[in-house]
Amino acid sequence: MTIGLCGAALVAVAALPAQAGPRAAGADGAKVSVPQPGWELKATGRTSRFRGLSAVNGRTAWAAGSAGTILRTTDGGASWGDVSPPGAAELEFRDIEAFDARHAVALAIGEGDASRVYRTQDGGASWTEAFRNPDPKAFYDCLAFFDARNGLAVSDPVDGKYRILSTGDGGRSWHVLPSTGMPAAQDGEASFAASGQCLVTSGGHDVWLATGGGAASRVLHSEDRGLTWTAAPTVIPAGDPAKGVFALAFRDARHGLAVGGDYRADQASPQAGAVSRDGGATWTASATPPQAYRSGVAWLPYLGFAAIAVGPTGSDLTLDSGRRWRRFDSGSFDTVDCAPDLSCWASGEKGRIARLTLTAS
């Protein structure tokens, strides 16, 4: 029932013309209320920038950010517990994957041993350092899990190829996969640790990797948990270290969304969105893309057509699988995640964390 009502409400929002206000005209000309999506900010009491986010459900979410900070809520954001790993204040957490209120894996980024993976199984009361990068040439950006045991993390290219780290025991141990099945990287190509969404999975074996910085932005796809990969160019502009695909979302093995642009505030991002219907083999530009750089994107579960994109200048909603986007909020967020119960969370700079709401106007 909740899923159906949310879907109907979002369809009603999409039907509004661009210039329509919060109340639209019904068939008889009378003004009718239309539910409006928006973000309800939750007070965190922190100033960290939270680029890592994992939504478990409407009550439980985890956020990971700067100054080694990890927060957890189990009451829908009414309160947040600081569950940061001891001695991690110098680390930059950029990604976190939580399986429930007790189990989570977090990634700290940086050159050499600044890239680390931490794991908790008691709600953050204690953490185990599961991986510390020994290679000064590696820089890990994102991690993603297929299920509670199997996951991957990705480093920017080392010796001309992206490096993939793998776990098969829920993040307790990690090993580097062979690079023989990885295509060569372009000159200057890298991934963006902007939202924890440069590496995403769908199902038990499919994983996608977003890139930028090189001559063309690309999406790399593996159907065997990272052993072999194919690469496809996208329509999102690159050719500069600040430009490319920043985030991906796949609702199944075929239907994907890509967002990005140029993260510099003084630069335009005229083509910030793209759509794939063939598992990332080809990408089509959104007919009406987000109007500015976007760093995070997430499908709304079960609806099949709805997704949200976020960035420093606002949030956008699509109700036609990424072909057209419409901005609904102007606040700054870096990443977004939606849980199976259809609750969506967003987080970003200055301790901002919020939950998506549908408000009757």
User: What confidence tens digit (pLDDT) does each residue in 227-256 have?
Assistant: 999 999 999 999 999 999 999 999 999 999
Residue 5 pLDDT level (bands cut at 50, 70, 90): very low
> What DSSP string runs through 152-177?
EEEEEEETTEEEEEEESSTTS--EEP
Cα–Cα dist 162/139, whole Å: 10
Mean pLDDT computed over 77-88: 98
pLDDT at 4 over 70: no
> What pTM was estimated for this model as a whole?
0.92
pLDDT at 31 over 60: no
The tens digit of pLDDT for each residue in 280-338 reads: 999 999 999 999 999 999 999 988 899 999 999 999 999 999 999 999 999 999 999 99
pLDDT of residue 6: 55
Task: Match domain 39-359 to its CATH number in 3.40.50.300, 2.130.10.10, 3.40.50.2000, 3.40.710.10.
Answer: 2.130.10.10
Mean pLDDT computed over 267-279: 97
Query: 3-class SS at 12?
Result: helix
Phi, psi of 65 (to 5 degrees): -155, -155
Residue 36 pLDDT level (bands cut at 50, 70, 90): confident
pLDDT of residue 13: 52
The residues with which 316 forms a beta bridge, in sequence order, are 309, 327
Place of tokens 């990443």: 335
β-pairing verdict for 344-347 and 335-338 = antiparallel
Q: 204 near 222, Cβ under 8 Å?
A: no
pLDDT at 202 over 90: yes
Average pLDDT of the chain to the nearest whole number: 92
The tens digit of pLDDT for each residue in 145-195 reads: 999 999 999 999 999 999 999 999 999 999 999 999 999 999 999 999 999
pLDDT of residue 30: 52
CB under 8 Å to 180, separation ≥6 — which residues?
none
pLDDT of residue 319: 96
- Residues of the chain with pLDDT > 90: what percent? 88
Cα–Cα dist 355/44, whole Å: 13
Instruction: Give the range among 51-60, 88-97, 232-241, 352-361 with minimum mean pLDDT.
Output: 352-361
Cα–Cα dist 249/283, whole Å: 13
Mean pLDDT computed over 34-45: 90
Cα–Cα dist 89/278, whole Å: 42
The tens digit of pLDDT for each residue in 52-71 reads: 999 999 999 999 999 999 99
pLDDT of residue 361: 55
The number of residues in the chain equals 361
Residue 75 pLDDT level (bands cut at 50, 70, 90): very high
pLDDT of residue 9: 55
pLDDT at 135 over 90: yes
The tens digit of pLDDT for each residue in 108-122 reads: 999 999 999 999 999
pLDDT of residue 29: 53
Cα–Cα dist 322/337, whole Å: 16
